[in-house]
Chains A and B, each alone.
Chain A
């Protein structure tokens, strides 16, 4: 998908429409009341996109009008004239230009300053906090979606509760209760799945668990096929393949509630500019293909795409043309039912903590509450370990 109008005038129009769309955080509470979709409507799909390693949010949504940004990043800042302007203060990394039409259509929500209190800077621990929706100091075993699906089960007729593509870590679907299938591509999964054997049993708890997983594999394999053909062309490369696999799964008529794809390599401690540009190009082209394929399937209006990562990166660049582990980050929500615009608040670069990181503006559990309550219409308290107000980036 390319830009058809003159770039400069297009960007101006994007910027002006964006100003009208900015929604202050303070309205969450009242807006949340209005939206109550059909309870547990898992026909509405969620696609989670993990930007693994900790994508640098500050060069993803660039505060191009903030002198502090250029002062912190003399070598790796994105120049003002390179930025895809969304407002008079913020714009996208140039590699994300393919996403600009979504912004113009108000189908792209930009979630700013997403984080959590007492941030942990370890990759493994911080993604665990995100995946389990735990407090910073609490260790939980089950993923937030596993707990949500325990509250309101996904119909047993579905191929699976969720499918994890290209990673063996079940993340938000970890824990015994959920029917999570991890696979790299559908054909390979279907070949390997022949090793699983469903059988009746009346054994102990551990055996029952193994038999359940065998059954999950067989059930998923019986519903999935890798043979749907799309007019959409999927980008070459690992992420493009993951998106293609996701679309093969989404095309199965029996349904899945959630699909997660992962793109790794965002841990850009050194020589960030080239690496991040290449990765964000994959993200943008992959999401554009995903949207086109969802439109083909008639599911664009029933899909919510959400990016996430373990953390953002330090505002001040390091000595190696890179950035170190940080805290609050920018994320995107995309879909036919997304209410485009800015949510949360941009990090205040003049008020960084002693270790050089910004405070968060939007708790990631508020984002999850939006998925659970506004999108699926299920209660979020048990899944999130407390009450978090949904954010109105999904249309009521």
Chain B
């Protein structure tokens, strides 16, 4: 949230609502709202929101959200060359060249997205785009063409806080999705059930809300949804569409794919399923069934307006409840982007940080399977926790690390990254060793360009005394009482203090 915009809006909102005069939410609530809906808020941002009521704050968060990135995408995304890959017709050198191009372009869109998350004035837009990326999952590992992954990302962003109905229809026809769930291979007489199954199980209704027959019939309706390999665009092919009568979820007719999606959306379960998933992303790990039903009804009643669902969630008692604070684990991308934003350092190139997040288990544009990253506690194991701590440790040490120490830490920085940035043409597993080196190099390249001056940063926090400023810094960084961090009163070195706060287990939470 840009400072000026937020300040002006805050004043305007405060003036509008002055008559009702509800209490301003205060620092802790503002910190909670911003940490849950964005990436690591700064002290200045928190203080602006602190003057608003909860309702004003939520209104402001949901107002004027962007639908496009501010960061210009890499040039290749406007290519209009065919998206065709036929390994059997290529020589080994051509295959290698193809693979390298896709790896390069895949890294470019990762860097672009991380840069957008760092730069955006509309943090919720990126958080929602990330949420939908993990909902309408596809992976470059199967899709191969980075351009198609970018197109899908743009569609998710455009509808991130719009209508879920529009989003569902658009995401379903995204070329990346058509490839990832084999719809592009589906034809009359040989319908592929992959998409039909996942659209009900994972995208809308949830397990147990449909029958195997519903899937088979729906798969027939989706035939004809295809990809034009010459342009990389969606194409309906009437010749392979099954135009017969289908029975889906109790309704019969000569349905096409769009009709089936609309039938699915008439089910209340769809709104409840999405609301519960949003709850787990923004409120707490365990949705309250009654509240989910209440908010889902609003969601459905407003034609699946995602903002309406978000407003319901963010204004629910559960969102603000003390025992739900600090109960969600930051994803690797949130940790990396949030830390850079919160410490107000300018990182230079973003690509190393995309690779660093991959090393912690979140490789953007390559979720592990159609269910996406499981998230929550699954983000944290011995390897990923040490990768997180090593990143934080190195970031905090950057203002005093002599060259010799840098070299030693670089040699040390080799936790193996997870799945390859992009797999080989056949989806080959990359060499762990290569990935480990990539992680180490990325960490080094990324962190080397960052200059974090802890003393200056702490001095910038609110407070009349050094101890008060350190207290403010800790309140900003941690959602809970510190577990292992130094107490501000006993700290005399700003760097050691910030470092111990970043390494506190509570810093992994939001």
Contact = CB atoms under 8 A, between A and B. Distances in A.
B382 A216 contact: yes
Nearest to B419: A124
Contact of A264 (B87, B414, B429): B429
Interface in B338-395: 359, 361, 368-369, 371, 374, 376-378, 380-387, 389-390, 393
A230 to B, nearest CB: 23
B226 interface: no
A316 to B, nearest CB: 13
B426 interface: yes
Given A53-B428, A168-B416, A325-B426, A204 B385 contact: no
A217 B382 CA distance: 6
B92 interface: yes
Given A220-B382, A267-B426, A214 B505 contact: yes
Interface residues of B, number: 59
Interface stretch (B10-18, B257-265, B324-332): B324-332
B235 interface: no
Interface residues of A, number: 58
Nearest to B142: A122
Interface stretch (B31-39, B68-76, B294-302, B431-439): B431-439
A223 to B, nearest CB: 14
B374 A124 contact: no
B65 interface: no
Interface in B37-89: 87-88
A187 to B, nearest CB: 10
Contacts of A168: 359, 361, 383-384, 387, 415-418, 432
B213 interface: no
B432 A205 contact: no
B464 interface: no
Interface in A105-147: 122-125, 128, 139, 141
Contacts of A265: 431
Nearest to A324: B426
A124 B426 CA distance: 12
Interface stretch (A10-18, A38-46, A193-201): A193-201
A320 B416 contact: no
Interface string A295-337: 0000000000000000000000011100011000000000000
A197 B503 CA distance: 9
Contact of B285 (A167, A196, A205): A205
B509 interface: yes
Interface string B94-111: 010000000000000000
A139 B371 contact: yes
A292 interface: no
B463 interface: no
B347 to A, nearest CB: 21
B483 A164 contact: no
Interface stretch (A65-73, A96-104, A174-182, A356-364): A174-182
Given A168-B418, A188-B414, A267-B428, A207 B381 contact: no
Contacts, number: 159
B95 to A, nearest CB: 7
B400 interface: no
B423 interface: yes
A123 B385 contact: no
A150 interface: no
Interface in B241-282: none
A82 interface: no
A203 interface: yes
A213 B381 CA distance: 6
B288 interface: no
A167 B142 contact: no
A184 B415 contact: yes
B390 A206 contact: no
A175 to B, nearest CB: 8
Query: Taking each of B361, B380, B390, which has the highest tally of chain A beta carbons within 10 Å of its own beta carbon?
Result: B380
B92 A320 contact: yes
A209 B361 CA distance: 17
Nearest to B409: A191
A206 B389 contact: no
B331 to A, nearest CB: 13
A167 B508 CA distance: 23
Contacts of B484: 197, 199
Interface string A152-183: 00000000000010111110001110001111
Contact of A192 (B285, B327, B386): B386
Nearest to A173: B381
A124 B92 contact: no
B427 interface: yes
B186 to A, nearest CB: 17
Interface string B480-510: 1001100000000000000000010110110
A314 to B, nearest CB: 11
Contacts of A318: 88
A381 interface: no
A236 interface: no
A207 B505 contact: yes
A373 B147 CA distance: 50
B483 A167 contact: no
A238 B359 CA distance: 19
Interface string B212-244: 000000000000000000000000000000000
A325 B416 CA distance: 25
B430 A264 contact: yes
Contacts of A166: 416, 432-433
Contacts of B172: none
Contact of B385 (A188, A213, A324): A213
B427 A124 contact: yes
A164 B384 CA distance: 13
Given A195-B386, A214-B505, 5 more contacts: A168-B417, A192-B415, A207-B483, A220-B382, A264-B431
Interface of B: 87-88, 92, 95, 141-142, 285, 323, 326-329, 359, 361, 368-369, 371, 374, 376-378, 380-387, 389-390, 393, 412, 414-419, 423-433, 436, 480, 483-484, 503, 505-506, 508-509
29 contacts: A52-B429, A123-B428, A124-B419, A125-B369, A166-B416, A166-B432, A168-B383, A168-B384, A169-B419, A170-B381, A176-B377, A182-B382, A191-B412, A197-B505, A201-B505, A205-B327, A206-B285, A206-B326, A206-B329, A206-B509, A209-B329, A210-B385, A211-B483, A213-B382, A220-B382, A264-B431, A267-B424, A267-B428, A269-B87
Which 3 pairs, one residue from A and one from B, show the smallest C-beta to C-beta distance?
A182-B383, A267-B428, A195-B389
